[in-house]
Chains A and B, each alone.
Chain A
Amino acid sequence: MDDILIQHSKDSAAGARSKAARSIVPVSRVSAGDVVVPNDRMEVYERLDVYNFGYFTRLKDVLESDFPALVHAMDKHSWLHLALGYVTRYPSEHPNLNVLNRRLPGYIEKKNVPNRGFLRDLAQLEVFITEAFDAPEFEQIDMESLRQATPEQHTGAVFETNPSLRLLESSYPVNRYLQTVYDEGSPPTIAEETPVREKSFLAIYRKEYRVWRLNLPRPMFRILEALREGTPLGDAIISQGDHDEDFQRWFREWAADGLFTRVHIDS
C-alpha cells in the first residue's frame, strides 16, 4: 500500500485521489472534508499536509544521516528525487527507523542513474556501517583454546564470526571516498568527475562499540569470506593457492579485533 494521503509524494490532496486511497475509501462516497474539520487559517488539505510534509522531511533527514557520502556524491536535486522515490517505493514497515536504509542499494541498482555501480556500492558501505553499529551484542573469542590445539586441529577449525562483520567487494574505492567525506574533505561529486574503477575489498565490523573499516588484499578477503561461511581454516587457506600475503599476521589481527566469537575444534 503506498501513495495515500500523508504518504503521497506530491501532497495529501493527490494522495486522496490516488488509486491506493480509493481502493480503501471511494472518494465518490467520502471526501476529506467529510472527516476533517477546517479552521479559520487552514483548509482541510492544508491541515493534512502538515503531516504529509512532515512525513517526507523526517524520512529524508533519517536517510541523509545514514548516507552522508552518498548525499555528497550526488547533486541535491538527484538525491532528493532518489530519496523521495525510495521512501515511496519502500515505506517504513518497522517501528525503528534504523532499518529504513536497508533496501536503498538494491533500489539504486534498479534505477537508471549515472554511475549507478559506484553509488550502489557507496550506499552499501554506508548500510553495512549502520548494520555493524546495531548488530547484536557478542563476546570476543577466547583464543587460548586455539593456541593449545594441534596443527591438525587448526586445519579443521571452524569459526563463527562476530555478528557485526560485513564484507564488501567493490569495483570502486568507496572506502577512500567515504573517509574523505568523514574527514570533512570534499571529494568530487559524480557530476564533477566520473568515479574511476579500482577493485576494493573491505571488512566492516564493530569493536569496542565503534565501527571499523579494514581494507583487505583480495586473497585475505576471500579467506575471511570462506571462514564466515563456515569453511574449515585449512580449506579456506588452500582455496587461495599461492599469494604474497602473510596470512598469520592477518589472522592475528582479525582475532585481536574480535572478528571471531567461537571456534569449533575437533577433539
Chain B
Amino acid sequence: MNLQDLTGRDLGVGIGLRSVHYGHVLDEKPELDWFEILSENYMNTGGRPLHILDQVAERYPIVMHGVSMNIGSADELDFPYLRELKALRERCGAVFLSDHLCWTGVHGQNLHDLLPMPYTDDALKHLIGKIHQVQDVIEAPLVLENPSTYLEFKESTMTEWEFLAQMAKESGCGLLLDVNNIYVCARNHGFDPYEYLDNTPWDHVVQFHLAGHTDYGTHLLDTHSAPACDEVWKMYRHAHKLSGGRSTLFEWDDEIPSFDDVRAEAHKARTIRQESVTMESAP
C-alpha cells in the first residue's frame, strides 16, 4: 500500500463510532459511508468493543485513528503498542491508520493529551525518523493529523504548515487535515487559516476532520462537543475545492447527541461536496 492508494481513496462522509451509538448502529444499520474508530478503545481488550467492531466492519469501511502513538516524544516508540495497532488494523481491515503530530508523554508516562511540538529542523529530523520506524512496523503509510494547540514555542523556526509539508514530503506519510484544529490554532496563535490551507501539500492529504470547539474567551478549546461553527464550514468548502475531494469525518466526543444528530452534522459536508460536483458539471 502506498500513499497514492490512500489519497486516491475517497470514502465519502463518515462519523466516529462511539459506544453510545453501538445499539443504533447494529440494530438500525444506518446509511453512512464509513466509520472511524478511536484505536485505543479497541486495544488492550478482548471484550464487547471488539465484538461490536467485528460486526460493524462487516458492513462499513473502517478507519483507525489513534491518540497514544507519542510519535513526537523523545522517548523510544512503544513497539508492542505498534504491533497491537497493526493487529487491530488487520482484524478490522482499516483503510487508513492515523495519529497526531504531537507527543503524549515522556519518561514512560502518558499524559493522554496531544502536546505541541516545536517546529524546528531538529524536531523535523527526529519526527521523520520515527515515522519511518512506524511505517516499517505497520507496513503502510502513516497518516498524521495537525493538532489543536494552546501554546507556541519560542524556538520554532517555521510555521505549522511549513513543518507539515516538509514532514510529509520527506517521510512519505499521509496527512489528516483537521479543519477545526486549523481554525482553533489560527485563533489561538493569530495566523490566517487560509494561508495554512493554501500552502498545504494536497498530494499528501488523505482525510479531513471536522468538529466543534468551545470558546473560553482567552482561547478556543478543541472539545468536540458541539456542531462546527460557520467559519469552519467555510474553510472546509475552500479545502474541499483545493483537495479535489477527500474522505471527510465529523467528530463528536463529548455531550454526544443521538446518532441521527451527529450524522446530520456530518451530512453538511456531503452537501458541500455535492455543491462542488454540481458547480463543476454545470455548463
A and B found bound together: yes
A96 and B68 within 8 A (CB): yes
Given contacts A42-B219, A46-B218, A209-B48, contact A1 B107 (CB under 8 A): yes
B153 and A54 within 8 A (CB): no
Given contacts A41-B218, A51-B115, contact A209 B51 (CB under 8 A): yes
22 A-B pairs (CB sep. < 8 Å): A6-B111, A6-B115, A7-B109, A36-B154, A41-B217, A42-B219, A47-B151, A51-B151, A54-B113, A91-B110, A91-B111, A93-B109, A94-B44, A95-B44, A95-B68, A95-B70, A95-B78, A99-B44, A134-B46, A136-B46, A209-B51, A210-B48
B47 and A209 within 8 A (CB): yes
Cβ of B59 under 8 Å from chain A? no
Cβ of A191 under 8 Å from chain B? no
Q: Which chain B residues in 71-92 approach chain A with CB under 8 Å?
A: 78, 81
CA distance A138 to B84 in the complex (A): 18
CA distance A195 to B221 in the complex (A): 42
B48 and A50 within 8 A (CB): no
Given contacts A34-B154, A39-B189, contact A55 B45 (CB under 8 A): no
Q: Please give the distance in Å from A52's CB to the nearest CB on chain B.
A: 10
Partner of B151, one of A48, A94, A164: A48
CB 8 Å contact bits of B142-179 with A (1 = contact, 0 = none): 00000000111111000000000000000000000000
Given contacts A94-B110, A95-B40, A209-B51, contact A137 B46 (CB under 8 A): yes
B50 and A55 within 8 A (CB): no
Provide the residues of chain B in CB contact with A37, threshold 8 Å: 151-154
Provide the residues of chain B in CB contact with A93, threshold 8 Å: 108-110
CA distance A31 to B15 in the complex (A): 42
Given contacts A35-B155, A206-B47, contact A95 B218 (CB under 8 A): no
CA distance A46 to B45 in the complex (A): 37
Q: Which chain A residues in 194-252 approach chain B with CB under 8 Å?
A: 206, 209-210
Cβ of A92 under 8 Å from chain B? yes
Cβ of B112 under 8 Å from chain A? yes
Provide the residues of chain A in CB contact with B110, threshold 8 Å: 91-95
Cβ of B23 under 8 Å from chain A? no
Cβ of A79 under 8 Å from chain B? no
A134 and B45 within 8 A (CB): yes
B190 and A39 within 8 A (CB): yes
Provide the residues of chain B in CB contact with A50, threshold 8 Å: 150-151, 219, 221
Q: Please give the distance in Å from B161's CB to the nearest CB on chain A.
A: 18
Provide the residues of chain A in CB contact with B264, threshold 8 Å: none
B218 and A58 within 8 A (CB): no
CA distance A35 to B155 in the complex (A): 7
Provide the residues of chain A in CB contact with B81, threshold 8 Å: 95
CA distance A91 to B109 in the complex (A): 7
CB 8 Å contact bits of A24-65 with B (1 = contact, 0 = none): 000000000011110101101011101100110011000000
A55 and B153 within 8 A (CB): no
Cβ of B229 under 8 Å from chain A? no
Partner of B111, one of A47, A92, A98, A206: A92
CB 8 Å contact bits of B43-62 with A (1 = contact, 0 = none): 11111101100000000000
Partner of A96, one of B40, B154, B219, B221: B40
Given contacts A50-B219, A54-B113, A96-B40, contact A36 B45 (CB under 8 A): no
Top 6 nearest A-B pairs (CB, nearest first) are A95-B68, A137-B46, A136-B46, A209-B48, A134-B45, A47-B151
Q: Which residue from chain A places its CB closest to the CB of B69 in the assembled complex?
A: A95
Q: Which residue from chain A places its CB closest to the CB of B48 in the assembled complex?
A: A209
Q: Which residue from chain B places its CB closest to the CB of A135 in the assembled complex?
A: B46
B48 and A41 within 8 A (CB): no
CB 8 Å contact bits of A125-138 with B (1 = contact, 0 = none): 00000001111111
Cβ of A256 under 8 Å from chain B? no
Q: Which residue from chain B places its CB closest to the CB of A58 in the assembled complex?
A: B112
A36 and B151 within 8 A (CB): yes
Provide the residues of chain B in CB contact with A132, threshold 8 Å: 47
Q: Which chain A residues in 96-122 approach chain B with CB under 8 Å?
A: 96-99
What 16 new A-B contacts, CB under 8 Å, besides A99-B44, A135-B46?
A: A35-B155, A39-B190, A41-B217, A47-B150, A54-B113, A55-B111, A58-B112, A92-B110, A92-B112, A94-B44, A94-B110, A95-B78, A138-B46, A164-B47, A209-B48, A209-B51
Provide the residues of chain A in CB contact with B43, threshold 8 Å: 95-96
B112 and A97 within 8 A (CB): yes
A1 and B109 within 8 A (CB): yes
Q: Which residue from chain B places its CB closest to the CB of A50 in the assembled complex?
A: B150
Partner of A133, one of B45, B78, B153: B45
CA distance A95 to B80 in the complex (A): 10
